[in-house]
A and B are shown apart, each in its own frame.
Chain A
Amino acid sequence: MIRVFVPRDTTAAALGADAVAAAILGEAARCGLAIELVRNGSRGACWLEPLVEVDDGHGRRAFGPVSVDDVPDLFVAGFPGRCDHPLALGDPAEIPWLARQHRLTFARAGLADPVSLDDYQALGGLAGLRKALVMEPQAIVDAVKASGLRGRGGAAFPTGIKWQTVHDTPAEQKYIACNADEGDSGTFADRLLMEADPYQLIEGMAIAGLAVGATQGFIYLRSEYPRARDTLEQAIAHAGRTGVLGDDILGSGRAFHLELRLGANAYICGEETSMLESLEGKRGLVRFKPPLPAIEGLHGQPTVINNVLSLAAASSILADGPEAYAALGSGRSKGTLTVQLGGNVKRGGLVELPFGTPLRTALEDYGGGTASGRPLRAVQVGGPLGTYLPEALWDTPLDYEAFAEVGGMLGHGGVVLFDDTVDMGHMARFAMEFCAVESCGKCTPCRVGSVRGMEVIDRLRAGDDREGALALLEELCETMEDGSLCAMGGLTPKPVRSALEHFPEDFC
């Protein structure tokens, strides 16, 4: 039977995919055509969503972006059979925007029904877990170390070293805590993975459990992602029923249990110790470090805390070997980076590239410039605590060290584009406002400094006592940097300072 794929992904749905799916079913019934509708994940080409695909047994063909109004017209042209139509894109794997990427973590995204474990295995899934089940825990940790994987949540700490600490710390109970809080504006890679390929995350967490001796895992998912929640709930339940999770993983006699926990809308709960507090049912107040969570984490027990993408990467590192992973990338940034192009961008979506690719390649070759068609003026990389970059810095290679050199950070890979109508003075003020709204409240420089920061930027922009206001803003930024317990207060000055440095004309 002809299979028709319509993504169930949040962005696809936000652009009408559910209605498109219903219209296709209705139209097919009206024409007396038997089709099988598959709600797949998204390939991450958000600009082509809803991206409808057809598989008639002789390869896949894509159509997009498809609106409800296009559906009758498509059927008139011969859809789902082979047909000429302005929306026809041919073989989706050969759409240049997708074909030129180096898909590793997102290789399976969009190919299948995310909840189908059979599809997951047919596409190579569980190979990493099967290998890990016959390895010594230390050998698993060594493989992750050898891959050079660094945490994808923002801080880029070597994942293998973190796992080693948990492995080496004896305890009755250890935990794996997956950070799926994905609070950074302009980022959606975790969401896309959880909605398109949830078993990869589940597999990676089970591997982490085997490596460090943890039998219980938690996924801390932000409540802003109801579709990811739905997909994960189904996948976790199915993994439990089929013995991928539970007391006897794939018949090995080894145990790993997994629970999904929902956040409640607080940016700071993405900070790892705040997340632990939240997982313990408390306010998300950031903890002092030390002790490291790897030694005293959830409920005081050794805990691996990793981002969704870090844990998912463990699956392919085990499946294909650490060498294959380490062969990609540049310098000390190994593997692939998932750039997420958002904001005022013509062809936005998820672009997975080896580290070291120039930012400009992402902005121009993939992004295609602004959605508005106006000149691109500023780019914020690395989320709300990330630096605003002017054109002079767009040739910076996408790797951790190169970005640090220009005073930026890659963070979770969010890249937000702004055209020439942006008011950078307003964006700097917004950075302070965001910090004021989302501060956990523990440190005065963060809680109060951010409110003062808004006032000072207002004064600066009003033009009264410019010199005084500038000096005060500088002093405030220094106080926040020096006197904040975590990066919320500590890095908020980054967007503020970079806006002021590179776009001073917007502060008059």
Chain B
Amino acid sequence: MTPGPEATESAVRDALDAHEARADALLEILHQVQDTLGHIPREAVPPLARALNRSRAEIQGVIGFYHDFRQEPAGATVIHLCRAEACQAMGAGALERHACERLGIGLHETTPDGRFTLEPVYCLGNCACTPSVRIGDTVYARVTPERFDALIDPYLDPGEEPA
């Protein structure tokens, strides 16, 4: 879903206000815009640049540099699969293949029905009980392919198969 110009404008204004339009708080401001809108629309860049006294290219550069920030809408549920060593040691590779196959998408992709986005992540700090998966703000431990299916189940309609 693409937010309208008013929604973008007010999300940017709120985020700037919450951080007193401090340029050094740009990451916080971007997080807040993304939390509100689900992504950081391109239209958000010029007002941010004006308010923070930075060039548009600088703001754009920051958004592009950090893996968290996205400029296109994500699926309704974002699933982060940990790919780091401690998770690989317990089968994260097989889990990744299973997740991609089950949802019919690759990493960094969104299912055509807009339900799920799969993202890689490198360590969630749950390294003693791996593989780890983060769905929204919740981390899950020891995620086997079967457990993965059970975790995504509540996000599907009853009886429905994903994509």
Contacts and interface: CB of A to CB of B under 8 A. Distances in A.
A414 B139 contact: no
A427 interface: yes
B105 interface: no
Contact of A267 (B28, B90, B122): B122
Given A186-B86, A263-B27, A427-B88, A226 B137 contact: yes
A283 B129 contact: no
A438 interface: yes
A338 interface: no
B34 to A, nearest CB: 9
Interface in A185-203: 185-188, 191
* Listed residue (A224, A280, A282, A437) with the most chain B CB atoms within 10 angstroms of its CB: A224
Interface residues of B, number: 43
A172 B158 CA distance: 63
B124 A224 contact: yes
A417 B24 CA distance: 40
Interface string A330-350: 000000000011111100110
Contact of B84 (A15, A185, A279, A280): A185
B3 to A, nearest CB: 20
A343 B89 contact: yes
Nearest to A14: B141
Interface in A351-391: 371, 380, 384
Interface stretch (B9-17, B59-67, B110-118): B59-67
Interface string B88-130: 1110000000000000000000000000000001111111111
A138 to B, nearest CB: 31
B125 A187 contact: yes
B70 to A, nearest CB: 11
What is the size category of the interface that chain A forms with chain B?
35 or more
A261 interface: yes
Contacts of B140: 14
Contact of B125 (A224, A262, A280, A299): A224
A187 B27 contact: no
B98 to A, nearest CB: 17
A182 B66 contact: no
A266 B90 contact: no
Interface of A: 10-11, 13-15, 46-47, 49, 182-188, 191, 223-226, 261-267, 278-284, 299, 340-345, 348-349, 371, 380, 384, 414, 416-419, 422, 427, 430, 434, 437-438
Interface of B: 22-28, 30-31, 52, 58, 61-62, 65-69, 84-90, 121-130, 132, 134, 137-142
- Shortest 3 CB-CB contacts between residues of A and residues of B: A348-B128, A342-B127, A281-B26
